[in-house]
Structure 1
Amino acid sequence: MSRPASNLLPYAALVAAIVAFCGGTSFAKRLFPLVGAEGTTAYRVGFSALLLLVAMRPWRFALTRHDAGRLLCYGLALGAMNLSFYMALRTLPLGPAIAIEFLGPLAVALAHARRAVHVALAGLAVAGLWLLLPVHGGAQSLDPVGIGFAFGAATGWACYILAGRRTGHLPAGQAVALGMVAAALLVVPIGIAHAGAALLTPLWLGMGVIAALLSSAIPYSLEMIALQRIPPHSLGVLLSLEPVVGALAGVALLGETLSLTQWGAIAMVVAASIGVIVTTPDSKQKVAA
């Protein structure tokens, strides 16, 4: 592979991860009336863990006790993020939910920024968030409980990025597979407690496998490549595509509708993240483990 193509590979992987995630999440939301958000999360994370174990065979590589602890933190952040996000999607449209969740990686990106202009960009993101909060009333006002879960997902996403970097020296397949296993240990029991034997319905099991492939196994494998090779601030900004892609997927695949204010709020969050990458010099330095 030529050097230019090799340099573009992690960026292409991240874009593919975003598209797969948004499409898979739209598909997974159709399972909510059947097994609930908790059961859908159990499908998504549990099947992803099994698929990744088979595909990546992480036992081929040695693992120190210290690295095992890092992978446990990575997996718990991943599981908490998934569960919180799906709980938010019970009452929130996909686009606004992702926009709020995206404040997690945006905060990580801004933490690496050092210029005064970033204060203004952070203010732009906060202004977009304000437009999404249920302070304006109206028929399309967002549910406060859903917003609370979306904030939980944002916190989990930030922790996932930070913990993922601390596993960057490990083989990507090993890290994502074992991390997903740790996530499954957190969310699968919760899903079983909520949905019970309904999770064993053959048709729903098949839908769960598809949801796991599209919204977890494929995106997180691709994101691990990006985490290891894209500078921290660049990663956060490129992820800014996700709220827009998610909103479009919600409209096209789920029939969701957004007000002009909500579209504007999403655009403000995206603009803030793009501003970070435009105003922050690229860096080749690795984040300290």
Structure 2
Amino acid sequence: MALSGLSNQTGAAVAALAFPVLGPLGVVAVRQYVAALALFAVVRPRLRAFTWRQWWPVLLLGGVFGTMNLSLYSAVDRIGLGLAVTLEFLGPLAIALAASRRRLDAGCAVLAGAGVVVLMRPRPSADYTGMGLALIAAGCWASYILLNRLVGRRVPGAQGAAAASAVSAVAFLPVGIAVALRHPPTPGALLGAMAAGVLSSAVPYLTDLLTLRHVPPRAFGLFMSVNPVLAAVVGWVILGQGLGGVEWAGIGAVVTANAVSIATTPR
């Protein structure tokens, strides 16, 4: 679980290093290609056997997957890795709290909301466009969870996820060509974008599959709540994006709300 979280956030930080050359759009395009190739090599989905009932949620999942990565990386470029991932984390937190009727979960929602208010408080240096992009990523992550459940019920194994990654890669193909023609990539930038695809897609996917064979889903979800903290630390170490006490308090509120909600959920 630690490897999965660190790999994911390190991949995002490495991707940010390629932004000056490729921009978030070019980096996401390369990441989608690498993720699709990696998943296809491992899963080998039988696309010709898919019915329309299976294809339409896969197509939606592919669109959400690409939009989520693009909006997140664009947010990272503007507001930093730690804040972007924290705001994006509101997506799965909202899914966890939406169906609950417990007073404790209502309190967790209030705590998370307070953390968001702290992170988005008005100040001269606030980048509301970047924050808005991170919230779009949060909405996409929530949609990704719901669509993944639907695809998982209709498509055997991990074939749906592999097919969705291929759909996203095909959609980004003309974008990648246009970016390459306009801003020819340097070997270092291209390597960074490819590393982001491996570290943020292939490695977490495979390690999560192995982890969930040995760790209960509830414990896995509880550990997932530390991702905003990992993102803040990785952003500081690799990108030099330091955070103040107020930002850490906001991140802590969102993380605590998620952890308390999962830890107290009845079995």
TM-score, reference length from structure 1: 0.83
Q: Cα RMSD over matched residues?
A: 2.5
Partner of 1:52: 39
Q: Which residue of 2 aligns with 1:70?
A: 57
Match of 1:182 in 2: 167
Contact 1:106 1:237 in 2 (8 A): no
Q: Which residue of 1 aligns with 2:70?
A: 83
Identity of aligned residues (%): 37
* Residues 108/237 of structure 1: CA separation in 2 closer, same or farther (3 Å cut): farther
Separation in structure 2 between the aligned mates of residue 191 and residue 103 of structure 1, nearest angstrom: 29
> Contact 2:35–2:202 at 8 Å: present in 1 too?
yes
CA distance, structure 1, for counterparts of residue 207 and residue 107 of structure 2 = 32
Structure 2: how far apart are the matches of 1:112 and 1:192?
Answer: 43
Structure 2 spans left out of the alignment, 5+ residues: none
The answer on whether the counterparts of 2:14 and 2:193 sit within 8 Å (CA) in structure 1 is no
Q: C-alpha distance in 1, partners of 2:223/2:61?
A: 21
2:230 aligns to what?
245
Residue pair 1:176, 1:224 contacting (<8 A) in 2 also: no
TM-fit CA distance, 1:225: 7.0
- Kept in 1, the 8 Å contact 2:4–2:207? The answer is yes
**Contact 2:9–2:200 (Cα < 8 Å) also in 1:** yes
Aligned length: 265
CA contact (8 A) 1:36 1:195 kept: no
The one of 257, 264, 267 aligned to 1:272: 257
Quote the offset at 1:238 in angstroms. Answer: 3.5
Distance between the aligned counterparts of 1:49 and 1:175, measured in 2?
12
Aligned-pair CA distance for 1:165: 0.9
Q: 1:145 aligns with which of 129, 135, 149?
A: 129
Q: Shift of residue 227 of structure 1?
A: 8.6
Q: Does 1:213 align with 2:198?
A: yes
Displacement of 1:230: 6.1
The equivalent residue for 1:115 is: 102
Match of 1:131 in 2: 118
In structure 1, runs of 5+ residues without a counterpart are 1-11, 283-289
User: Taking structure 1 as reference, are residues 54 and 207 closer, same or farther at Cα in structure 2, changes over 3 Å only?
Assistant: same
Match of 1:196 among 166, 172, 181: 181
Q: Distance in 2 between matches of 1:112 and 1:121?
A: 13
Counterpart-to-counterpart distance in 2, 1:144 and 1:183: 27
For residues 199 and 180 of structure 1, the distance between their equivalents in structure 2, rounded to whole angstroms, comes to 25
Note the 1:245-264 alignment, pairs <5 A: 245-264=230-249
Q: CA contact under 8 A between 1:53 and 1:177: conserved in structure 2?
A: yes
What's the CA shift string for 1:217-244, capped at 9, x where partnerless?
Answer: 222444567799965x766544211100
1:79-132 per-position Cα deviation (integer Å, ceiling 9, x unaligned): 110010011111111111101000000000102322112111100000000001
Give yes or no for contact 1:128–1:266 (8 Å, CA) kept in 2: yes
Residue type matched to 1:259 in 2? G
Task: Report deviation, 1:208.
Answer: 2.4
